[in-house]
Amino acid sequence: MSAGDERARAVVALLRQLWLGLSTYRLFPDDPTRPTFVTAAERVEATAATAVASGPVEVGVRGSLFLLDGEQLPEDEALAKLALACFERRVELLAVHVPPVTEDLAALYRVLTTPSEELREAGGAAEALYAAGVTAVALSAVGPAPVAGADHVPEELEDTPASPSHVPDASVLASELMIEDLQGSPEDQAHSLLARLRSFTSGLALEPGRGIDFQAAVHDVITQLPDGIRRALVEELVDTVKDDPVAERLIGTMSNAELTRALVDLGRSGDRDPVALAHQLAEAGVRHLDLIDLTTALQQGREEAGTIMAGLEQLGLDISESAVESGGSVGEVLAGYLTATKADDVRTLRGGVPRTDRQRREAALLALRDYVMVETDLEQIGEALHVWSERVERAVRERDAELVTAMVPPMREALGASADEERASLFEFSVKRALGRDLVLDIAAWTEGFDGSDPRPLLAPFGEAGVEALLDLLADEEDRDRRAHLLGLLRRTVHGHVGPVVARLRDPRWFVVRNAANLLGTAGGPEVLDQLGATTRHEVPEVRREAVKALMVAGGSAAVPHLQRAALDGPDDVRQTAVVALGSVLAPEAATALATIARSSKSRSLALRTLDELAEHPEGPACLREVATGRSPRASWRVRRYARKLARAKGVQAS
């Protein structure tokens, strides 16, 4: 391995730890002395010591990418997010001179979590970090610039304006470039316009990071040009992009779709090959290879509702009609492809900057999710989750269902579905800490109180972990009235999450099993009948009887075989309960089961009670006649006689 490769690997490791530290800082922005952040800072310091051993680290920021010595570092999700955090705050160079200590990193992360508007008011990210007294790490724009307020300016910077220029909007820029004064053929006008842009750009001094706003203004000017001039300008930009920084930046302001349409437009109006032009841009390194697929597709007319269908088959995506019918429109398939494509679209990156409180909150939650996904120290994860659970508890208490819905799913995704039992257990423990006894009882009081609040929006985001928490509280509650409140709350929230309830059927505490059977009767379905059927043989009578009732409620006609079995073969105390439950099932198969029990039961009293239930059943009279006539299996003469009596009472001839 070359020294260059070793250095690149050390820089990548440092950048990853910097992102991990930033994610940790977002958890405790007001208290960087937390052990979790201190540990993350120590890791950054250790990796920085390795990275700067051969000299200071300086990486350029280009959207979601980092450049080291002009070469792009490997694409990595953590690096991309750190780069964007810098890019959004107009930072174009990140430098690490010496290993930063905890205080340095706290100041750096404070800058990288401050909204860009506030940073501009403070003089920019570089000035804000310098004002904090940090010298180990520096943020700045690429290229030299005079120091504001200095009494001496180096000769090579004498012509640079002393103060930044205002970024013009599209209309002002068009006036500055004298668009209306362009003369000659479209090619001549495009050439003159590009020359004016070069001249205007060379005399424009922007504050660090404001270049993106200027490029956006240029983009708006280009889109408003007449078709002929725009085509000629795009053609000249493509031809000069390798050697002209202005052309490279202007190409960078165009999205893939816009550039593709411009290239195909050139092919339709001249002798240039759009696909060859796309190859030219890809070879110059200003666009990814997907531009070639897009250009080829549009040239062939593959477009739907204004969306270009590009190279999807080569990417392993099926765009046949059958695939579209089963998996969404072609546009939806393409959307998935474009989402995965890391295009160099400046305006798209600008659109991704969190601007509202809600967007910032979502960004912080995603950062927390990323942190717990990559963190391997369970103790550190546990501390982060402690803070998370406190905020979730407050959101539940304030009945902020929107915030609960935003906060819980990212953590459930990161930990709750983990194959690692310890990580999954951490999530469950944190949910139980958030859903404490007093809070849950308050929720139950809201539900049953005057305002009749619906608890489901608050509790549904917790999924099965929330059901587990409520079941634990129910199991530990000694007050009868409070248990009733908790059962009522669970009945409203357990639908779709019966797994934890089924597991409670194996609990050694009989009252826990009874409660689980009761809940399964309310929220279960045919999928829980086998478990409830087995529970009808539980050693405790109260549990057995509850399981029989739950069978009827949960399964309806599907529960008939289980109830018949309980009536014939179950313990004595559940047989009559099973017969009564069968009488409540109005399906014809329930009447047939009652007739079978009447003929087959060894208990005459149970057989007679079964006939009473059968007589009241909508399908019962016909079945009574079958019992009375002595068909196999043959009932005792007392049972047959009672069946004839009931049949005559119902107006049915039994002989």
- How would you write 290-305 as a 3-class SS string? HHHHHHHHHHCCCEEC
> Which amino acid is present at 251?
I
CA–CA gap between residue 162 and residue 24 (Å, rounded): 39
Kindly state the tokens that stand for 599.
């003929």
Rounded Cα distance between 178 and 174, Å, is: 6
* Cα atoms in the Cβ-side hemisphere of radius 13 Å centred on 534: 7
* DSSP class of 415: I
Tokens matching residue 199: 């001249």
Residue 512 contacts residue 472 (beta carbons within 8 Å): no
Q: pLDDT at position 497, please?
A: 85
**Where do we find the tokens 């810098």?**
86
**Residue numbers in the chain where pLDDT is lower than 50:** 1, 142-164, 208-209, 304-307, 310-355, 449-450
Do 523 and 492 form a contact (C-beta atoms < 8 A)?
no
Backbone angles phi, psi at 646, to 5 degrees: -70, -35
Contact criterion met (CB below 8 Å) for 218 and 250: yes
How far is it, in rounded angstroms, from Cα 344 to Cα 348? 8
From residue 443, alpha-carbon distances to 263, 314, 493, 519, 604 in Å are: 61, 53, 12, 18, 50
- Count the neighbouring beta carbons within 10 Å of the beta carbon of residue 377: 12
Report which of 299, 280, 182, 287 is spatially closest to residue 235, judged by C-alpha positions.
280
At 470, list the tokens: 């409520």
Compute CA distances 390 → 35, 361, 401, 415, whole Å: 17, 16, 15, 17
Return the bridge partners of 137, or none.
96
Both tokens of residue 619? Answer: 């399908």
3-state SS class at 244: coil
pLDDT confidence of residue 271: 67
Count of alpha carbons within 13 Å of 512, Cβ hemisphere only? 19
DSSP string of 386-414, one letter each residue? HHHHHHHHHHHHTT-HHHHHHHHHHHIII
Cβ–Cβ under 8 Å, residues 299 and 325? no
**Residue found by looking up tokens 């609990």 in the block:** 507
CA-CA distance, 90 to 340, in Å (whole number)?
25
pLDDT attached to residue 157: 39
Residue in the structure block whose two tokens are 């990486």:
59
Q: Helical H runs in 435-498?
A: 437-448, 456-459, 463-476, 480-493
> In angstroms, what is the C-alpha Rg of the chain?
37
Cα–Cα–Cα angle for 97, 100, 101, nearest 5°?
155
568 membership: H or E segment, kind and range: helix 560-569
- Whether 356 and 399 have beta carbons less than 8 Å apart is answered as no
Helix (H, G, I), strand (E, B) or coil at 475: helix
Question: How large is the greatest C-alpha to C-alpha distance in the chain, in angstroms?
Answer: 123
Q: What is the pTM of this model?
A: 0.48
Confidence at residue 301, expressed as pLDDT on a 0 to 100 scale: 64
Copy the structure tokens of residue 442.
């308050």
Contact (Cβ atoms closer than 8 angstroms) between residue 49 and residue 13: no
What burial letters (b/e) apply to 332-353, b meaning 16+ CB within 10 Å? ebbeebbeebebbbbbebeeeb
pLDDT, residue 398, reads 86
Q: Specify burial of residue 584 (Cβ count, 10 A radius: 0-12, 13-18, 19+).
A: middle
For 281-297, what is each residue's pLDDT tens digit?
777 766 655 566 667 76
